[in-house]
Amino acid sequence: MSIENEIAIAREDDPEKKQRIVRHVLADLPEWFGLPESTKSYVQESAKLPLWVACYHSQTIGFIDYFQTSIATGEIRCMSVRKQFHQRGIGTRLEQSLESYAKKHAHYLQVKTVDEGHYPEYDKTIHFYDSLGFERLEVFPTLWDAWNPCLVMIKKL
Task: Please give the CATH superfamily to which domain 4-156 belongs.
Answer: Gcn5-related N-acetyltransferase (GNAT) (3.40.630.30)
pTM (predicted TM-score): 0.91
> In the chain, where are the structural domains located?
4-156
Residue 9 Ramachandran class (φ > 0 left, ψ -120 to 50 alpha, else beta): beta
pLDDT at 2: 65
Categorize the per-residue pLDDT at 43 as very low, low, confident or very high, splitting at 50, 70 and 90.
Answer: very high
Residue 149 contacts by C-beta under 8 Å, 6 or more apart in sequence?
A: 114, 115, 118, 139, 140, 141, 142, 143
Q: How many helices (H) and strands (E) does the chain have?
A: 4, 7
pLDDT confidence band for 1 (50 / 70 / 90): low
